[in-house]
């Protein structure tokens, strides 16, 4: 069995309850975005010159997501493409919020992060199983890919 299928299958074992699944459809993207937004807010310091080339995407979130996307690519190039599109959307939304919101991006993302995790743990309480990342920290990255694989299946895309 391919590594990605094994990881998705193992992740799915602790996500069988329909309510928990529904909570994950909301909270996993919310948490992913909130982490991107928080990292987006970290000043790039001596790398300020990159803003001339990358504009608002010269930030630690872009760098971090590049590393994460290489991990996804190592598991499944097609799935990495979907995660790239989702990641790019998160970066764009973080930048938009940073520009138009009177409330700092980091504080919005901190609240979203907290809400997302509270609901996730509630979902796992309903499920009766611990979150997968307690077993293996990689599952923090597999969660978003697990949701993406359902989108791929829905449209008949191979992953």
Q: What is the pLDDT of residues 47-105, one digit of tens each?
A: 777 777 777 778 899 999 999 999 999 999 999 999 999 999 999 999 999 999 999 99
The sign of the CA dihedral 150, 153, 157, 159 is: positive
- Report the sign of the C-alpha dihedral through residues 39, 71, 93, 146, in that order: negative
Element (H, E) at 76: none
8-12, 33-37, 139-143, range with greatest mean pLDDT: 33-37
pTM above threshold 0.85: yes
pLDDT of 1 above 70: no
Positions of E strands within the chain: none
What is the domain partition of the chain in residue ranges? 21-155
In angstroms, the Cα distances linking 25 to 90, 98, 102 are 15, 25, 28
Q: What pLDDT sits at residue 73? A: 97
Q: Is the pLDDT of residue 135 over 90?
A: no
Determine the pLDDT at residue 2. Answer: 76
Helix (H, G, I), strand (E, B) or coil at 72: helix
Show the tokens assigned to 153: 């299946």
């Amino acid at each position: 069995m391919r590594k990605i299928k094994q990881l998705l299958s193992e992740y799915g074992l602790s996500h069988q309850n329909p309510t928990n699944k529904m909570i994950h459809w909301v909270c996993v993207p919310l948490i992913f975005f909130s982490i991107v937004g928080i990292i987006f807010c970290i000043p790039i310091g001596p790398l300020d010159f990159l803003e001339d080339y990358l504009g608002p995407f010269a930030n630690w979130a872009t760098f971090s997501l590049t590393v994460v996307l290489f991990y996804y690519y190592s598991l499944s190039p097609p799935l990495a493409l979907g995660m790239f599109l989702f990641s790019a959307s998160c970066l764009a939304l973080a930048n938009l919020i940073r520009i138009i919101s009177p409330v700092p991006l980091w504080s919005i993302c901190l609240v979203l992060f907290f809400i997302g995790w509270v609901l996730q743990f509630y979902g796992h309480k309903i499920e009766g199983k611990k979150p997968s990342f307690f077993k293996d920290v990689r599952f923090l990255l597999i969660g978003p890919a697990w949701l993406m694989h359902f989108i791929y299946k829905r449209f008949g895309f191979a992953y």
